Structure 1
Amino acid sequence: MKNFLLQIFVWWHGQTIGTRFFTWRVGRCVGKDQFGNTYYEGGKTSYGLSRRWVIYNGYTDPSSIPPVWHGWIHHRRIDKPSKQEQQNVFDWQKPHRVNLTGSPEAYCPRFRKNVVDEKEENQLPLEYKAWSPSD
């Protein structure tokens, strides 16, 4: 019952009933990415382009769309990404990561001001000299 009510009223836990019905009625599954997001295409927009959308795997987070699928969903490319394009092609390319802001894995500099428990972490390096107007 809880999942049913979440589908009706809450959009950030996945697809709502309206999205599920629209996907069933006009959607054609185009592919999946490495995060389990499913991409659909179907219908026409007012510009004559086909409508494209994504059903997220789990929590709705747009930063979980890899770059090759981002280009497809925004009509920057006509055809869907191939399996070769979805893998790392060059040595310098890193795997796509979702936005970690707000999570424990988020980057936080060593000398941050929001830590009050550990005094040593709040101390600035010794070579730092604060500016004062009398200088």
Structure 2
Amino acid sequence: MKTFLLQFFTWWSGQTIGTRFHTWRFGELVGTDEFGNTYYQTIGGKVDPQIGVVRRWVIYKDRTEATLTPPGWVGWLRNTSPLPPTQDGYAPREWEKPHVPNMTGTPFAYRPQGSILSTGERPAATGDYEAWSPTGQPVGARPTEGEISRG
């Protein structure tokens, strides 16, 4: 019952009822990645007349998170590779780093130096910045007597 309700009311926790029905009716399983995500295309690799290419999609194992799609499968999903990585012998390059999930909104998110959310002290200003002022004088400077009498 929980799975049904999640599929009926949410899109971020896997597939929806509509996606499940569409996949059952028009989908052909192509493969699975190391994260447990499953990849589909239209039955028989038929070109979809609405988009002009074979329709391809992914159903995520747990939560819907695009950063959980490996590079080989991304190329196949975007139709830049005609064959899925399971058929073309895709192997990651030596310079590719292992997957790291999107940490935005978590305590492990990237916080550059100077961010109000980063830990530690903010670096001191370098003194090379001068704020704009409508009078043309530096901010904090006292107005002259002529400026006071005009004002």
TM-score by length of 2: 0.70
Distance 1:81 1:109 in 2: 36
The residue identity in structure 2 corresponding to 1:41 is Q
| 1:31-58, Cα deviation, whole Å (9 max, x unpaired) | 1112221101114411453221100121
Moved >4 Å (runs of 4+): none
Partners of 2:113 and 2:122 within 8 A in 1: no
- 1:107 aligned residue: 110
Distance 2:52 2:122 in 1: 59
Task: Give the aligned length.
Answer: 128
Distance 2:84 2:35 in 1: 16
- 1:14 aligned residue: 14
Structure 1 residue 93: deviation in Å? 2.1
- 1:56 aligned residue: 60
TM-align CA RMSD: 2.6
Distance 1:45 1:3 in 2: 30
Structure 1 residue 67: deviation in Å? 1.6
- 2:93 aligned residue: 89
Structure 1 residue 101: deviation in Å? 1.9
The residue identity in structure 2 corresponding to 1:98 is P
Partners of 1:28 and 1:40 within 8 A in 2: yes
| 1:92-126, Cα deviation, whole Å (9 max, x unpaired) | 221233322222222112432136xx7xx23324x
The residue identity in structure 1 corresponding to 2:14 is G
Residue 26 of structure 2 corresponds to residue 26 of structure 1: yes
Residue 39 of structure 2 corresponds to residue 39 of structure 1: yes
| 1:53-97, Cα deviation, whole Å (9 max, x unpaired) | 100121111122122111101111111113842x4332x221233
Runs of 5+ in structure 1 lacking a partner? none
SS in structure 2 of the partner of residue 95 of structure 1? coil
Distance 1:14 1:52 in 2: 16
Report % sequence identity: 43
Specify the structure having the higher radius of gyration (Cα).
2
